[in-house]
Amino acid sequence: MRLRPAMTAKASAAVLALFAVWTFATWFLEGRIETLLRPEAVADRVAYALVANLLIGIVLALAVLGLLIRSGCLTRNAAGFGGSTPSAVRLTTAVVLGLALFALQGPPSLDPVVLLNAFCQVLVVSVAEVIVCWAVVGAMVEAVLKPHGRAVSIIGAAVVASVAFGIYHFAHSAPFNSIAMVALLSIVGLVTSGIFFATRDVYATILFHNFLGLFGVVQALVGSVQLSAYAAVQLPLLVMAAASLVVLALSDLILIRRPGGSRRVPPRQ
């Protein structure tokens, strides 16, 4: 279905507003006070994870996505929520590919406890990043560009989603907020775009994307001499990671897959 200009304008405004609110919350709760560079700042970390990622990056983002789907702007499949359940094959493939890329980069630490803590820390952010940048922004750009052909719409969506992912990191603490790092992350985002648009599976994309972020976080911890703090299990990080998955699953069920959630409503004439 070709979107009417009025519908496109409203949907695009909602998507831009979501991205802006999410980015501002990240800067206010993380980048402004360098939360992720301070392992001892438990309260700040919890506030950042709860507000910027769980409430805005997951719940609000899926609420916006649900409205876009029910208004006929998007379909569940285009946004990565097409299957009745996440695909075990795609999830396994994402983990294998993610692990392979992580190992090939030569990680600065292979301590299983360090990697577990870092993986859990990244996961909370990765869920929000994939939902906002790819399931919402990317899918919406694809829908807007669809009249120009399948190739143009997918390539355009992949590029915009990747650039949005890079720009979002200006809101983070060092070293992720530099121009060089934002440019690099935009390029890295193209890899995630490839997985998302090839699989149309949000859950598989999140797992794969998390391994890309894992390397960067471990490297940043080494550079800031904070790695030793992650040598012991950080229970708050594990709890927040588990909470992000629970919130994602519940929000998916309630806001996306509820009865009538995938129904396309024709625009008013």
pLDDT in tens, 147-183: 999 999 999 999 999 999 999 999 999 888 999 999 9
Tokens of 80: 């990565």
Question: For residues 236 and 246, what is the distance between their CA atoms, to the nearest angstrom?
Answer: 15
Q: Is the pLDDT of residue 24 over 70?
A: yes
The pLDDT tens digits for 3-20 are 677 788 999 999 999 999
pLDDT for 268: 34
Residue appearing with tokens 């703090």: 229
The pLDDT tens digits for 184-224 are 999 999 999 999 999 999 999 999 999 998 987 787 777 66
H or E element in which residue 155 lies:
helix 150-168
Question: For residues 221 and 217, what is the distance between their CA atoms, to the nearest angstrom?
Answer: 6
Question: For residues 137 and 69, what is the distance between their CA atoms, to the nearest angstrom?
Answer: 13
Question: For residues 134 and 197, what is the distance between their CA atoms, to the nearest angstrom?
Answer: 9
The pLDDT tens digits for 102-156 are 989 888 778 889 899 889 989 999 999 999 999 999 999 999 999 999 999 999 9
Beta-carbon contacts of 52 under 8 Å, excluding residues fewer than 6 positions away, are 22, 25, 26, 29, 30, 128
Q: Is the pLDDT of residue 265 over 50?
A: no
225 with 35: CB under 8 angstroms?
no
Average pLDDT, the chain: 89
pLDDT for 2: 62
The pLDDT tens digits for 219-247 are 777 766 567 777 888 888 899 899 999 99
Helix (H, G, I), strand (E, B) or coil at 106: coil
H or E element in which residue 13 lies:
helix 5-26
192 with 212: CB under 8 angstroms?
yes
Give the residue among 227, 53, 225 at the shortest CA–CA distance from 132: 53
* Cβ density class 78-99: b for 16+ within 10 Å, e for less: bbbbeeeebbeebbebbeebbe
Give the residue among 235, 231, 206, 233 at the shortest CA–CA distance from 221: 231
Rounded to 5°, the CA angle 114-115-121 comes to 95
**pTM to 2 decimal places:** 0.91
pLDDT for 269: 29
